[in-house]
Amino acid sequence: MDSLRASVRPILTYLLAGAFVYGFVTRNVEPESLEMLFQLNLLSMGFWYGERALKNLGLNLEKGK
């Protein structure tokens, strides 16, 4: 059960990225849908890499420091 729970976010990220790449390469997707997929990918990537990016920029989000 834990492995299933742990695999939900990566699978969702791969599906969103794949859908965006497919729409971008083939242009078979409406522009509004492609924009929505781009925004969803930004949210997904921000979730995965946002904290690391902020730390690399020198911003510390830890409370009490």
pLDDT tens column, 13-47: 899 999 999 999 998 889 999 999 999 999 888 88
pLDDT at 12 > cutoff 80: yes
Sign of CA dihedral 25, 29, 41, 14: negative
The model's confidence at residue 65, banded by pLDDT at 50, 70 and 90, is low
Residue 18: closest CA among 7, 29, 2:
29
